[in-house]
Amino acid sequence: MTKKKPKTKKTENAEGIMTVSGHLRELRNRIAVILITFVVAVAVFLAIAPMLVTFFTDMGTRYGYEFVFIAPQELLMQRFRVAIVGALIVSSPVILFEVFGFARPGLTESESATLKAALTLGLLFFAIGVLFAYFVAIPFMLDFLIGLKSDNDYIRESISVASYLDFVLLLFTIFGAMFEMPLISVVLSRFGLLTPNMLNKARPVAVILIFIMAAVITPPDIASQILVAVPMILLYLLSTLLSRIFYRKRKQKQAEEEADSSEEEE
């Protein structure tokens, strides 16, 4: 008697193309990996969340801030919040890797290499933005804002832990996202979705929008607005320069491919 071969679920058709059920199964597996990684990271960060909250508040106490919590559960909730944010940051490489792995079959080799480099450099640029916020932007803003109370000696600061962490985490996110601007311009230019002419024409409007955005996301003072707006403008100019370089390379590659195809036809 011959043994029957165990049945296996088909994920590809006769042409070697993955079926819909195969795509759904792969998507399910990748989502499971992301969720497991995130849950484990949250559990780890919950253990060190009290130290992280102390680390962030120590930044303020160096400039004379005093913190309170105005709800019984506020301090506990902030620990959960810091744990979730930390878990998102730590698990982001896994998330990006799984997203890239799912999208890779539909990309060309050149597009795959570009996207892989963009994801890797994106994490690096975000980290640089966070470090800039930690060493430059946040200390300056904290020192400047606490100095405003010297005009009113009868006013004493009593800042809640929640509002302070809102301020710090928002600035970390803003500056981390700001430093992604040049990389985004390179990727879009590489795929032909953005041109240097588009950035040059939009520059006056972009500068106005940057100052408006800086006024909205920062405390209501001109110093904080300038501290956010000026790096954004410089990053926009750098994005324009990088877009010009990579868009020119794309046009040259297209011209070479057209020349090669015309020679083959002859």
The 8 Å CB, 24+ separation contacts for 213-222 are 217/170, 217/174, 218/141, 219/141, 219/145, 219/167, 221/144, 221/145, 221/148
10: Cα separation from own chain's centroid = 37
Q: How many Å apart are CA 10 and CA 195, to the nearest integer?
A: 44
Read off the pLDDT of residues 119-136 as tens digits, 9 standing for 90 and up.
Answer: 778 888 888 888 888 888
The tokens describing 208, both together, are 């106005």
> Helices 181-190 and 109-132, interaxial angle, to 10°?
170
The pTM for the full model equals 0.72
The model's pLDDT over 185-233, given as tens digits with 9 standing for 90+, comes to 877 777 777 777 888 888 888 888 888 877 776 666 677 778 778 888 8
Residue 100: pLDDT over 70: yes
Q: What is the distance between the alpha carbons of residues 138 and 166, in angstroms, rounded to a whole number?
A: 12
220: alpha, beta or left? (left if phi > 0; alpha if psi -120 to 50) = beta
